[in-house]
Structure 1
Amino acid sequence: MKINWGTGIVLAFIGFITFILYFVFRMSTDDRANHDLVTEEYYKKELTYQQDIDASKTADEFNANLNVEKSEEGLTIVFPERFDPAKITGIVSLYRPSNKHLDTDFPISLSKTHLLIPDNRLVGGRWDITVKWQYEGKTFLHKEKLVY
């Protein structure tokens, strides 16, 4: 049986469409591929966006910038020395864009000017670090992207 060029084109289209549908089905049902790239309660988080901008501006105005350093023990967040560590409160949020199960929040409770997050809590890869902290009624915000 001889196949003409019209039949060949139709068979090529059917083969290509089958190929694409196979991979779409395989990727959408595969448990190893995690497609969660957005945080939980995305819209609720967006409502506080202006407050985050104001807190970030306050940190710039008061020169209250934090240093985030990688060390052998883990991740060290160093607060400015001129602030009393006992009066600093807040939350450190570690967001992993590729896996929502690794997202964690740490409350800030300081006796010194630095906070250590142990190395066993962090997996290698990209992390978005958000430190939202208060000192004497003022709210400060520090955001940073880190490859650990």
Structure 2
Amino acid sequence: MKFNWGTGIALTLVLFAMLMGFMVYKAMQQDFDLVSEEYYADELVYQDIINQKTNALKLDGRAKLRMTDEQVFLVLPADLDGKTKSFAVQMYHEQEADNDFNFEKKSTTENQFAIPFTTFSTGKWIAKVKLNCEGVDYYFDPEIVF
């Protein structure tokens, strides 16, 4: 069999079609979780989040996630230490929406809180913290990678 330019073009087209078929197959196997099921409603109130982030930037410190051997802690800025505050936290796992969970604290003066993980799954976690301290709303989104 002689290999000429027509055979080369045909072989190239067949290989291209097979590659495209494989890529479509792999793309269909991906699991795409939305950040939020109510993304449109969340977008409408996003200006509130921007205002809360601006308030948080006025503080000296930032909220952090700190990991010890057996526990993960949410540490709030030192400016808020000793003040009465309440907050809600959404722990968001980027790779797996089934791992997301929420917790909240009402009327506390503490500045460090243990996060109630039932299981630690690897990946990037973002703590979306909405905090109210003495009538001022703040928003923090510290990250940690396991």
Report the TM-score, using the length of structure 1 for normalisation. Answer: 0.79
2:11 matched to 1:53?
no
Deviation string 1:4-62 (CA, Å, 9 cap, x unpaired) is 3213312321222123213312441x3xx422254322222222221111111212324
Shift of 1:93: 1.3
Mapped to 2, the partners of 1:38 and 1:119 lie a distance apart of 20
Identify the residue that residue 124 of structure 2 maps to in structure 1.
126
Match of 2:74 among 72, 77, 102: 77
Mapped to 2, the partners of 1:38 and 1:21 lie a distance apart of 29
Mapped to 2, the partners of 1:3 and 1:62 lie a distance apart of 72
The answer on whether the counterparts of 2:81 and 2:110 sit within 8 Å (CA) in structure 1 is no
Mapped to 2, the partners of 1:22 and 1:67 lie a distance apart of 42
Report the TM-score, using the length of structure 2 for normalisation. Answer: 0.80
Mapped to 2, the partners of 1:131 and 1:22 lie a distance apart of 42
C-alpha RMSD of matched pairs (Å): 2.4
SS of aligned partner of 1:36: coil
The answer on whether the counterparts of 2:128 and 2:141 sit within 8 Å (CA) in structure 1 is yes
Runs (4+) of structure 1 exceeding 4 A deviation are none
- Give the letter aligned to residue 97 of structure 1: E
Deviates more, 1:103-112 or 1:40-49: 103-112
- The percentage of aligned residue pairs carrying the same residue is 27
Unpaired runs of 5+ residues, structure 1, are none
The answer on whether the counterparts of 1:55 and 1:141 sit within 8 Å (CA) in structure 2 is yes
The answer on whether the counterparts of 1:67 and 1:78 sit within 8 Å (CA) in structure 2 is yes
Q: How many residues align?
A: 143
* 1:1-148 to 2 correspondences below 5 Å: 1-2=1-2, 4-28=4-28, 30=29, 33-36=30-33, 38-63=35-60, 65-79=62-76, 80=78, 82-84=81-83, 87-109=84-106, 110=108, 112-148=110-146
- Give the letter aligned to residue 18 of structure 1: M
Unpaired runs of 5+ residues, structure 2, are none
